[in-house]
Amino acid sequence: MRTIWAFAWGALVGVLGGLIGLGGAEFRLPVLVSIFNYRTIQAVIINLIVSLVTVTFSFIFRSGIVGLENVIANWTVIVNILAGSLIGSYLGVHYATRINEQILNRVVVVFLIFLSVVLMGHNLIFGVGSLLLPELARISLGFLAGIVIGIFSSMLGVAGGELIIPTIILLFAVDIKLAGSLSLAISIPTVLVGLLKYKSQQKLKEVKSEREFIVSMAFGSILGALGGSYLLSYISSSLLYLLLGSILFLSALKLARHKVVP
């Protein structure tokens, strides 16, 4: 029954993520902690594993809608932010494996609330348009933003798409749908580096006994991402962001009331 629920939640989160080009990790994290009662560090690692599967397949599914040629044409944007995010991802694992779990739990809550505000206020954020900056300043800011995104990615087990997408839009004047696919392209190696760092620190053994659960949730996420990508053309972006932001805020409140298991 536990694996069935893992599949169901994976599919649900996969749909939500696939709609806007995310791995859905920010929704999956409170589910892993509050519903399946994983310790925060276990939830982060499981989240990274499932996120890697989800963002990879979401990228493949969305390519038919956005166009792979458009993603390739913007390879400089990917390289710019990815250079910083890989460094940040490596550093994030260093802090995540040394920080008190109660503190990590609080960081997760604050991050989720921040993301909910970003999502619900997307009209204001995206309505600003790109920043008129010199090329060197734009590249520098993209690199620094990538470092911050990478740190949060590996510390909290998320792909960081909610931060990557606004960064791409504001700095490089890219359409939101294309920005979602570029975000996935950046997220894949970022999440992979975080996982490899956890592996090098022998932390993957924390979830070694949860293989069946992880496979079930990952498979559900793949199907969900496929469905979400298909629905992308039929749902209003404004309504979508408001809905996701509301769900994210409620998830943060629920996680805030959760007691950390020693």
225-240 per-position pLDDT tens digit? 899 888 877 777 677 6
Tell me the average pLDDT across 198-221: 88
Q: Is the pTM of the predicted complex or chain greater than 0.85?
A: no
Q: Where are the domains of the chain?
A: 2-256
Q: Hey, is 67 helix, strand or coil?
A: helix
Residue reference for tokens 């920080």: 99
Q: How far is Cα 139 from Cα 262, in angstroms, rounded to an integer? A: 43
Most confident of 15-19, 40-44, 222-226: 222-226
Residue 258 backbone zone (phi > 0: left; psi -120 to 50: alpha; other: beta): beta
Provide the CB-side half-sphere exposure for 109 (13 A, CA): 15
If pLDDT is split at 50, 70 and 90, which confidence band does 94 have? low
pLDDT band at 158; cut points 50, 70, 90: low
C-alpha distances (whole Å) from 190 to each of 55, 155, 158, 161 are: 11, 12, 10, 11
